[in-house]
Structure 1
Amino acid sequence: MMTFWLTGIYWRRAKKLLLLSLLNRGDMLQPELLSVSPKDDYKLLLLYENGEKKIFDVSPYISGVWYGELKDLETFKKVRVANHSVEWEGGQDIAPHELYNNSISV
């Protein structure tokens, strides 16, 4: 009986935490990214599953040793869709919600 009662408490706590995490994720949900096309000015043309086209400016991110590798246009142009976002050959990526929320609709 005592084990069942403790299990019930833990179950209610787990449900509450799950609900809170889902509510907190609401602003991070975005449509699935279908394609990315790099532009010469360090911008990306993004196409989402809902038909939205957006432009994301990568230039503010291109600094430091790791992201600085993207200054080379040939390296920058080797971007691809990966894990609901974009990724370059060197492993550089941008969070999906940041990519979507900080881009401009075209």
Structure 2
Amino acid sequence: MYPSVKEVVPGDDYIISVVFDNGECGTLDMKPLLDFGVFQWIKDYDAFKRVRVAFDTIEWDCRVDLDPEYVYARCKAGKAA
């Protein structure tokens, strides 16, 4: 089982800081995804900044979200999205 996202903060250059309910933290670089599918909707930086916690993962108000296991794995590994 993976931990749930507790807090998410958008940063500069499409980087997201994530805090999990087990106390772990990490960052997620969204730049590599911005040219693909629905992720193009958050290419607009104002849209990107409207990220929030939803259930156990992150989502944007344009209904774009990420799989919680993906978020945790990428943050834990310290890899870019």
TM-score interval (norm. to shorter): 0.7 to 0.9
Picking from 44, 61, 80, the partner of 2:16 is 44
Normalised to the residue count of structure 2, the TM-score between the two structures is 0.85
Richer in helix (by share): 1
Structure showing greater relative contact order (alpha-carbon pairs closer than 8 Å, 6 or more residues apart): 2
Q: Which has the larger radius of gyration?
A: 1
Shift of 1:65: 5.2
Aligned identity (percent) is: 31
CA distance in 1, matches of 2:57, 2:40: 19
Aligned residue in 2 for 1:13:
none
Alpha-carbon RMSD across the aligned residues, in angstroms, is 1.6
1:69 equivalenced with 2:41 (yes/no): yes
In the alignment, structure 1 segments of 5+ residues that lack a partner are 1-28
In the alignment, structure 1 residue 79 sits paired with structure 2 residue 51:
yes
| Alignment TM-score, normalising by the size of structure 1 | 0.67
Question: How many residues matched?
Answer: 77
Runs of 4+ in structure 1 displaced over 3 angstroms? none
